[in-house]
Structure 1
């Protein structure tokens, strides 16, 4: 599994601690230094079963600066994914990616079900 995080993010730190306590081995990936590609995002969004909108970091500064709340509804799914791939800070974090699931954001009960 790949744990995609921004190390300064408090939620990412909680998720990383939870994974360690649960004994879940993960490969760490910095979301800004190694931003998800368009191909990865397309695959992960499909695997997650979630709409593209759920992959946006809506509380992020960049999201607000770009006024994406108003722009996203007029964009196609492909345009949204291409935009997400331009900057890791646009992507909601943390992400937990396996061969069978993709989890966005940290909800311990959801993660527990998925990794057991």
Structure 2
């Protein structure tokens, strides 16, 4: 199980606490130090089953700087994935990867459902 996070992200801290509280082993990956590759982002997108827009950190500075609100209306999925690979802080966090399960963001109810069956 891999947890992709940003160290200063409060939501990522909640996810880490959840995993520790439930005795779930994971490898921590700092997104700034080891960004997700385009191949990994393709896999995350496919396995998550979410619309491409759900992979974007819409509340972040990079989202505003790149004017993503307008770009997502016209960019293809491939163009958005490429931007995500070039700008790690544009990726919504945390990203949990575990076998065929990919969880984007931290929703405790969803994490319980997917990880504690």
Normalising by the smaller structure, the TM-score range is over 0.9
Matched length: 116
Aligned equivalents of 1:3 and 1:75: distance in 2?
28
Q: Contact 1:32–1:87 (CA<8 Å) still a contact in 2? A: no
User: How many Å apart are 1:20 and its aligned residue?
Assistant: 0.2
TM-score (norm 2): 0.96
Aligned equivalents of 1:26 and 1:112: distance in 2?
15
Mapping 1:1-116, distance limit 5 Å: 1-116=1-116
User: How many Å apart are 1:52 and its aligned residue?
Assistant: 1.2
Please list every run of at least 4 consecutive aligned residues from structure 1 whose deviation after the TM superposition is greater than 3 angstroms.
Answer: none
Aligned-residue Cα RMSD (Å) equals 0.7
User: How many Å apart are 1:72 and its aligned residue?
Assistant: 1.3
User: How many Å apart are 1:77 and its aligned residue?
Assistant: 0.7
User: How many Å apart are 1:62 and its aligned residue?
Assistant: 0.7
Aligned equivalents of 1:50 and 1:28: distance in 2?
23
Aligned equivalents of 2:33 and 2:51: distance in 1?
25
TM-score (norm 1): 0.97
